[in-house]
């Protein structure tokens, strides 16, 4: 029965029908498809294969902000400034004590209340998706003016908040690049922001990352034989992608780093940085955190594996 359901989920028509009833969240793609000459409807399946012959410069970018002119950069300490300046080289920046403990306490209270009254539920056992749609405490951080100015400078274009994911425990997710899940055309039009909602150490599943991995190619469906055809998605399971990434790490000799964070510390990472969650060794301890994902305004956003355009809601 399980194998039959998995087979049926590979039919692209299933997602096309779902997309058809979500035009409001997909309307931004209609005009972008026209600009680049792509003959696709807003509800059509989309993947990197569709952009193989499209000029990545065909979508114009807006004027950008210089990082050193950002308010936070000018007013923060030297360590945070150096980390931001090294973003292009390392693929990440660590900002110590970016969010106040008072703001974080408000977020934690909202999440706990939402779970207790049923407004929030776990997805895949450990994720709380899109809670920022409901709680101003999360919106205040995700839409923070100084943070968005930094993201604008790093993205070289306006950052649009797309998603939040809250965790009460460690994600324990194997190493991956966000570009296989939240893909963009042109590539690289995404940033991740991870915030520690309590002190995190080696016992409760810290985030890990591989400095410099963002400079490797973007590994997409074609790289692990998962493109599928006109009617069906690829047949590879997700662990085939994870094994592929593990192989690239071994081949390139990349060095793993753990983000042992203090409450209020923030990590910003590049769309193609390899990262994941370590094992949560002490399950008597929580590992409260939140991830925000941002798209660059004016790029086409989609999910490479399931070939679905991203549903973007106004907040």
**Dist CA 222 CA 23 (whole Å):** 28
What pLDDT score does 28 carry? 87
Q: What are phi and psi of 80, to 5 degrees?
A: -65, -40
pLDDT band at 9 (very low <50, low <70, confident <90, very high): confident
How many residues appear in the chain?
A: 315
Give the right CATH number for 65-309 from 3.30.70.360, 1.10.3720.10, 2.40.50.140, 2.60.120.620.
Answer: 2.60.120.620
Closest Cα to residue 231, out of 45, 82, 42, 68? 45
Cis peptide before 208 (omega within 30 of 0): no
What pLDDT score does 59 carry? 84
Closest Cα to residue 99, out of 267, 259, 258? 267
Tokens for 233, please give them: 């998605």
**pLDDT mean over 158-186:** 96
Task: Please check the confidence at residue 61 and state whether its pLDDT lies above 70.
Answer: no
Task: Kindly report, residue by residue over 204-255, the tens digit of the pLDDT.
Answer: 999 999 999 999 999 999 999 999 999 999 999 999 999 999 999 999 999 9
H-state helical runs in the chain: 2-8, 12-20, 23-36, 71-75, 78-85, 87-90, 101-117, 136-142, 145-155, 238-252
pLDDT band at 315 (very low <50, low <70, confident <90, very high): low
DSSP string, 255-301: PPEEE---TT-EEEEETT--EEE--B--TTS---EEEEEEEETTSEE
What pLDDT score does 113 carry? 98
What pLDDT score does 2 carry? 63
What's 10's DSSP letter? T
What pLDDT score does 215 carry? 98
The whole-angstrom distance between residue 210's C-alpha and the CA centroid of its chain comes to 16
What pLDDT score does 62 carry? 67
What pLDDT score does 286 carry? 97
% of the chain exceeding 90 in pLDDT: 89
What pTM does this model have? Answer: 0.95
Helix (H, G, I), strand (E, B) or coil at 6: helix
**pLDDT mean over 153-167:** 96
- Kindly list the distances between the CA atom of residue 136 and the CA atoms of 120, 144, 259, 294, in Å, as whole numbers in the listed order: 14, 11, 27, 17
The mean pLDDT of the chain is 94
**pLDDT mean over 155-179:** 96
Is-contact 99 195, C-beta < 8 A? yes
Facing residues of 184 across strands? 301
Query: What's the maximum distance between 2 C-alpha atoms anywhere in the chain?
Result: 59
Task: Please check the confidence at residue 1 and state whether its pLDDT lies above 80.
Answer: no
Task: Kindly report, residue by residue over 141-152, the tens digit of the pLDDT.
Answer: 999 999 999 999
- Kindly list the distances between the CA atom of residue 221 and the CA atoms of 181, 229, 275, 303, in Å, as whole numbers in the listed order: 11, 12, 18, 11
Neighbours of 308 (CB within 10 A): 23
Helix (H, G, I), strand (E, B) or coil at 128: strand
**Dist CA 42 CA 28 (whole Å):** 8
């Amino acid at each position: 029965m399980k194998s039959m359901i998995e087979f049926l989920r590979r039919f692209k028509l299933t997602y096309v029908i779902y997309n058809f009833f979500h035009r409001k969240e997909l309307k931004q793609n209609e005009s972008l498809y026209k600009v680049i000459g792509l003959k696709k409807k807003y509800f059509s399946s989309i993947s990197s294969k569709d952009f193989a012959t499209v000029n990545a410069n065909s979508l114009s970018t807006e004027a950008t902000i210089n990082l050193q002119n950002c308010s936070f950069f000018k007013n923060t300490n030297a360590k945070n400034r150096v980390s931001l300046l090294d973003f292009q080289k390392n693929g990440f920046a660590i900002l110590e004590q970016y969010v106040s403990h008072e703001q974080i306490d408000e977020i934690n209270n909202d999440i706990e209340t939402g779970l207790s009254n049923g407004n929030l539920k776990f997805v895949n056992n450990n994720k709380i998706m899109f809670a920022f749609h409901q709680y101003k405490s999360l919106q205040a951080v995700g839409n923070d003016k100084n943070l968005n100015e930094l993201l604008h400078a790093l993205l070289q274009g306006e950052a649009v908040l797309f998603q939040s994911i809250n965790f009460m425990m460690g994600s324990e997710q194997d190493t991956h690049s966000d570009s296989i899940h939240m893909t963009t055309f042109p590539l690289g039009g995404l940033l991740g922001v991870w915030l520690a909602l309590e002190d995190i150490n080696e016992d409760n599943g810290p985030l890990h990352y591989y400095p410099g991995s963002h400079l490797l190619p973007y590994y997409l469906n074609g790289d692990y034989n998962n493109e599928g055809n006109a009617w069906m998605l690829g047949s590879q399971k997700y662990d085939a992608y994870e094994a592929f990434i593990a192989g690239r790490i071994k081949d390139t000799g990349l060095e793993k780093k753990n983000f042992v964070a203090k409450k209020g510390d923030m990590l910003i990472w590049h769309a193609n940085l390899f990262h994941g969650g370590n094992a949560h060794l002490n399950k008597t301890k929580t590992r409260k955190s939140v991830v925000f994902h941002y798209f660059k305004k004016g790029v086409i956003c989609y999910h490479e594996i399931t070939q679905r355009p991203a549903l973007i809601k106004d907040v």
